[in-house]
Structure 1
Amino acid sequence: MLLTLTTTHRPATDLGHLLVKHPDRVQSFDLPAGAAHVFYPEADEARCTAALLVEVDPLKLGGGRRNRAPEGFALGQYVNDRPYAASSLLSSALAKVFRSALRGESRDRPELAASAIPLTVRVPVLRCRGGAELAVRIFAPLGWAVTADPVPLDETYPEWGDSRYVDLTLTGTLRLADALNHLYVLLPVLDDAKHYWVAPDEVDKLLRAGAGWLAGHPERGLITRRYLAHRRALAGEAMARLTELRLADEPPADDSIEPSTEAGAAEDVRRASLAVRRREAVLAALRDSGASRVLDLGCGGGALLTALVADRRFTEVVGVDVSDRSLGMAARRLRLDRLPERQRDRIRLRQSALTYRDDRLRGYDAAVLMEVVEHVDPPRLPALEDAVFGHARPGTVVVTTPNVEYNVRYEGLGPGRFRHPDHRFEWTRAEFAAWVGRVAAAHGYTAVLGGVGDDDPEVGTPTQIAVLTRDDRNERPDRNDRDDRNENTGDDRKEATNR
């Protein structure tokens, strides 16, 4: 079975650094069921292709007691399509051969490993239970352009129709680690016939490889069931954990509206797109501010943290949340236990309530309140304003919140209903502008307002955003600072008098 991975990122031969496989050599690896070989059919500055060829030994494959015949007959363990069609055998080979690339690690090109690059993946023969349409439904929500051409049973006799196999090509601009993790999970899902016994630890494998994309995938139920070989107890556990991740993920808010019709899949994609655009808008604002040390206040499950850590210009990233469970989810999402020490040293997770002053949050270049303020009871908002703008006083604060006027564009969201059951309020554009203006004036900031998402001429954008920048010319010392300075001045006077 064969898989090829191509990039046109320049220099394209950097693909060898990301995969930790030199383009000038053929490398071979032993597998429990055969051998894997990595080689490069083409490798120059403009275009580079890495090929993974897996040779399956039918005797090794059929020798284990746990193996079951995918074709359902006595000799199926020895006479089958496993040596030729992509399956969980190819997925296992990916995990062994490209281990560091799957984790997003690269000693030689760490910045490139964290960046999205143009990629084309081809699997010439993939057994796809559900046909080409299912391959599109599985890969398209992840940002891939999908071509799945059915393989004819016999080209000589086209009237015989198509086989159960497809020639799969994926094209997109993604991180290499994300691409490999998509393949690791979804190739055996489409094949739907694992070559090994599915044990309880497969749930952890699935959640690790699916971090950042599986919880929000519109076909997550099907993916989970098939990956776990339809073992109901394991699939139930995985779905429960994915639900926790989804609830803790950003935003815990407007992207979780429950659709009232069968058009739910399209709505999921639409809301996922808004979440991505919101995150990109926040990152752009932080980059424009020149910040290097950033607070993610109310970080939840860590979706924004992951994007911040992937950008090397942010030298210190701190996630803050009142929920210890959310911080645990963020740690798992960031894979803190598997990160190199240099990467891990850039990240801090702190438990803290945003309505109380916390000295640990002072001195940072920027802070983000992304889909957070609407979860605070209105009487507690002044306490949040004081803690963030009055005490922590970052140089820049980026705030996003839903635009309640846009709710009429969400199908199934009736009058008086908020986008999330935990919302205490949702502001109109005028109300948000008034709040931002008052906070900026009270604490010495200047503010710029904007929107995220499609701009409707009648109701505006679905998300509102404000970037508040501290005006140091109007700097007002915090009361604690004044007390410290008065104390020091008093001590200085005593010392001068003694002299």
Structure 2
Amino acid sequence: MSFGKMHVFYPESSEERSTIALLLDVDPIALVRDHKGPSGEGFALEHYVNDRPYVASSFMSVAISKAFRSAMGGICKDKPYLVDRVLPLEVNIQVLPSRGGEAFLRSLFEPLGYQVELKRYELDPQFPEWGMSRYFSVTLRNELKMKDLLAHLYVLIPVLDNDKHYWISEHEVQKLEEKGNGWLEQHPEKELIIKRYLKNVGAFTRLAKSRLSEEEIIDNKEEEVSSNDNVKEERKISLHQQRLNKALDELKLSGAQSVVDLGCGEGKLLKLLMKEAQFNNIVGMDVSYRTLENAKSRLNYERIPQKQKDRLGLIHGSLTYRDKRLKGFDAAAVIEVIEHLDLSRLASFERVVFESARPLTVVITTPNAEYNVKYESLNEGAFRHSDHRFEWTRAEFEKWASGIATKYNYEVRFEPIGDWDVEVGAPSQMGVFKIKN
């Protein structure tokens, strides 16, 4: 490899148990020759005298992806039935640096179900007053799929590394999105993992947060916190489905023939729209390209008749940037999306939808914060979802929506969604905007 040599060998291999060893022989001279060494020109010797040859660093992640590419991708030609099998796995890493010490290292792996054993090294046993170093021997034990284990290591080892060798670009955001799929969205240290993996580069950190947040909108719209038996029962009949049905009814009543679903996710509303002959131009937009691919699959796009394909479009884009592709639609739907935007970005969203795109009808739904008292496991002041940037009461939502209507020449009415409570209203609220003649 460009930074040295990689060796893979098997100290033991049997039907019952196997050990796979990955050894990196990192060449510090090669790092300098290929301009892959630690950043900074202030101390030239740092390019030659550093911990790169001796620790599991970002180079280890590269080696994992090269040596175990098929395993990471969930591919096994000889024994495909093992790919999705949960196995008792143990990982020994010698030696792992941790900026943040033992507590931070544990905070990365323990939420994923790992048993973590650590041995921390002194800076110098001859000088104990110097204290402990940031280097650990680490043993991780867990029962999970091999592909999940490798994905965790691929992302989290660079997070612990202070001198990542790679350039940060949108490609790294895509890799983080792919390897973090299914676990990073829910990790309690998600934001710190994103920042450290992407070297705190603001633009790409924000992009990664946006993509992962939009995916949470898709995957977790029905996973709002609740231990209340009545609310659990409501979720069985799908509060989210009630939102979709209510939005569909409003879109049909509007007389719209062309509809754009902003933040379409995996296409649940699009699927309902496709069943209605009234709509001849249906477009879904989402910030996550991978989610659009999932929507395409969910909608059976490759197998539907050509006439149906001609009615449907999927586009990649953001809700906070003007986009000429959004112009000319009769109606737009924004279902449980705005609460995932930073409040500072709402003004951009308003201009994109109501000033630039200007559909004749806009349907927006969002949680009703007053209803949160019905969720017994939700602490006072907490949001229903970890990625929500805000949650509005009915009065707050109506004030915001009425302000938009006045500013952009719309009229708006409000509808509850879900079971009505006399004191706190319904769990979700809807605003239906109509442009004035």
Taking structure 1 as the reference length, the TM-score comes to 0.50
CA distance in 2, matches of 1:97, 1:163: 30
Question: Of the candidates 398, 407, 422, which is equivalent to residue 375 of structure 2?
Answer: 407
Contact 2:2 2:34 in 1 (8 A): no
2:33 corresponds in structure 1 to 63
Answer whether contact 2:91 2:139 (CA < 8 A) is retained: yes
Number of aligned residue pairs: 282
Partners of 1:85 and 1:325 in 2: how far apart? 43
Identify the match of residue 139 of structure 2 among 169, 188, 211.
Answer: 169
d(CA) in 2 for partners of 1:47 and 1:411? 45
1:192 CA displacement: 2.8
Residue pairs, 1:15-414, within 5 angstroms: 31-65=1-35, 67-69=37-39, 73-155=43-125, 157-255=127-225, 321-323=268-270, 324-325=284-285, 329-330=290-291, 348-350=298-300, 407-412=375-380
Taking a change above 3 Å as real, the CA distance of residues 164 and 182 of structure 1, as seen in their structure-2 partners, is: same
Structure 1 distance, partners of 2:158, 2:204, is 16
Distance 1:251 1:407 in 2: 16
3-state SS of 2:38 partner: coil
Query: Relative to structure 1, is the Cα distance of residues 65 and 154 closer, same or farther in structure 2, using a 3 angstrom cutoff?
Result: closer
The letter of the residue matching 1:145 is: Q
SS across alignment from 1:215? helix
- Deviation, structure 1 residue 46: 3.0
Read off the aligned partner of 1:409 and give its amino acid letter: S
d(CA) in 1 for partners of 2:77, 2:3: 30
Query: What's the RMSD between the two structures over aligned residues?
Result: 3.7
The 1-side partners of 2:419 and 2:156 are apart by: 38
SS of 1:101's partner is helix
Distance 2:122 2:92 in 1: 18
Residue 425 (structure 1) aligns with: 418
> Can you list the C-alpha shifts for 1:106-134, whole angstroms capped at 9, x where unaligned?
11222211121111111121111011110
How far the C-alpha of 1:198 sits from its partner, in A, is 1.9
Q: 4+ runs of 1 displaced by more than 6 Å?
A: 403-406, 417-423
Q: Which amino acid aligns with 1:58?
A: P
Measure how far apart 1:58 and its partner are: 1.1
Per the alignment, do residues 35 and 65 of structure 1 end up closer, same or farther by CA in structure 2, a change over 3 Å counting?
A: closer
Identity %: 39
Give the secondary structure class of the aligned counterpart of 1:40: strand
The offset of 1:239, in angstroms, is 0.9
Deviations 1:167-192 (A, max 9, x none): 11111111111110111111010113
Give 1:329 deviation, angstroms: 4.4
Q: 1 CA distance for matches of 2:139 and 2:59?
A: 19
Superposed CA deviations along residues 145-170 of structure 1, whole A, max 9, x for unmatched, are: 22233122234554442111111111
TM superposition shift of 1:71: 10
Tell me the distance in 2 between the aligned counterparts of 1:211 and 1:99. Answer: 16
Q: Per the alignment, in what secondary structure is the counterpart of residue 166 of structure 1?
A: strand
Distance 1:79-1:190 versus aligned 2 partners, 3 A rule: same
Contact 1:69 1:75 in 2 (8 A): no
SS in structure 2 at match of 1:93: helix
Q: Aligned equivalents of 2:187 and 2:99: distance in 1?
A: 19
Relative distance call for 1:106 and 1:426 in structure 2 (3 A) is: farther
- More deviation in 182-191 or 68-77? 68-77
Distance in 2 of aligned mates of 1:408 and 1:427: 17
Q: Secondary structure at the match of 1:42?
A: strand
Structure 2 counterpart SS, 1:408: coil
Match of 1:260 in 2: none
Q: TM-score normalised to the size of structure 2?
A: 0.56
Describe the SS at the equivalent of 1:151.
strand
Please report how far the alpha carbon of residue 252 of structure 1 lies from its aligned counterpart in structure 2 after TM superposition: 3.9
Change (3 A) 1:321 1:230: same
Q: For 1:193 and 1:252, how far apart are their aligned partners in 2?
A: 40
**Residue 42 of structure 1 contacts residue 49 of structure 1 at CA under 8 Å; is this kept in 2?**
yes
Which residues of 2 match residues 432-451 of structure 1 at below 5 A? none
Contact 1:32 1:60 in 2 (8 A): yes
User: Could you list the per-position Cα deviations for residues 247-298 of structure 1 after superposition, in whole angstroms to 9, with x for gaps in the alignment?
Assistant: 111344414x9xxxxxxxxxxxx9xxxxxxx9xxx9xxxxxxxxxxxxxx99
| CA 100–156 in structure 1, closer or farther in 2 if over 3 Å, else same | same
Pair 1:320–1:204, CA change in 2 (3 A): closer
